[in-house]
Amino acid sequence: MNKRLKNILLQLWLPILIILAWWFGSAAYSSSFFPPLSSILDAFRENWLFDRVPTEFLPSVWRFLAGFFLGSLVGVIVGIFLGSIPWVYRSLRPTIDFLRSIPVTTLVSAFIILLGFGDLMNVTYIAWAAFFPVLLNTIDGVLGIEPTQKDFAQTYRLSRMDRLFRVTLPAASPQIFVGMRISLAVALLVMVYGEMVSTTDGLGFFILFAQNTFRVIDMWSGIILLGLLGLLVNLIFIAVETRVLAWHRGWRASVLEGS
């Protein structure tokens, strides 16, 4: 058994065990709130292959990705600025800590009052939630740049743009990706909550409406789709991160070998 197959089995044993337990447990236990997994899979096929994809799934994906990328972009830009000028960051840190400490779910009413209902509110709401993890990790990444790297930029008299793209961004990118991965999960959660309270379409609305109308099987099909969406975007993100940060892993390995 090769190493790759072992890794696959190591990652799949628990999901397979959960599916088997759910399948046999739900078949043996008759309850309208705990329907058989076979019925849920039938509803999943009817709902998401592909009748409700344009009306419920795609709007959610659009809001999620737009909010995530907007929040991440602003977080990186502001984080690089604040990390490059430490005294500005120190002066703004109490305000940043105050704003990020407010649970984002309590702010949904404020966003609705300011922006109304619709995609603009939801995208902005998701972007707000995704902003802070990226911001703080970007600041940490910039502040943690090695003095030798800064000396390199000064020695070769790099322009401000060259310093940004050749020194600052590469050095801070591992921390930036950490923040983006946290924001990815936060954005998905906030997307669902925002759709539950402010839209008439999307996965969040579909799940809440199914729950309120006692369509439990449809509710579970929506929840499973959310889990699959989260898994898919996480796998894509890991693949991108691995490719972008390949140089960093190689550099760390060489440092460890040298030590």
Which pLDDT band holds residue 1 (cuts at 50, 70, 90)? low
Percentage of the chain modeled with pLDDT above 90: 67
pLDDT attached to residue 67? 98
Q: What is the pTM of this model?
A: 0.90
Domain-wise residue ranges, the chain: 34-246
Which pLDDT band holds residue 249 (cuts at 50, 70, 90)? low
Task: Please give the residue that has the higher pLDDT: either 86 or 33.
Answer: 86
pLDDT attached to residue 26? 82
Beta strands in the chain (DSSP E): none
pLDDT above 90: residue 245: no
Task: Please give the residue that has the higher pLDDT: either 8 or 106.
Answer: 106
Burial of 68 (0-12, 13-18, 19+ CB in 10 A): buried
Q: For residue 50, is the peptide bond before it cis, meaning its omega torsion is within 30 degrees of 0? A: yes
- pLDDT, mean of residues 174-178: 95
Q: What is the pLDDT of residues 192-222, one digit of tens each?
A: 999 999 999 999 999 999 999 999 999 999 9
Q: What is the pLDDT of residues 36-70, one digit of tens each?
A: 999 999 999 999 998 899 999 999 999 999 999 99
For residue 257, the surrounding DSSP H or E stretch is: helix 246-258
What are the tokens at 84? 């490059």
Which pLDDT band holds residue 250 (cuts at 50, 70, 90)? low
- pLDDT, mean of residues 120-143: 97
CATH topology of domain 34-246: MetI-like fold (1.10.3720)
Whose CA is closest to 207, among 64, 57, 18, 66?
A: 57
Percentage of the chain modeled with pLDDT above 70: 95
- pLDDT, mean of residues 5-23: 85
pLDDT attached to residue 256? 43
Give the angle subtended at the CA of 208 by the CAs of 228 and 226, to the nearest 5°.
Answer: 5
Print the SS3 string covering 171-221. Answer: HHHHHHHHHHHHHHHHHHHHHHHHHHHHCCCCHHHHHHHHHHCCCHHHHHH
pLDDT above 60: residue 252: no
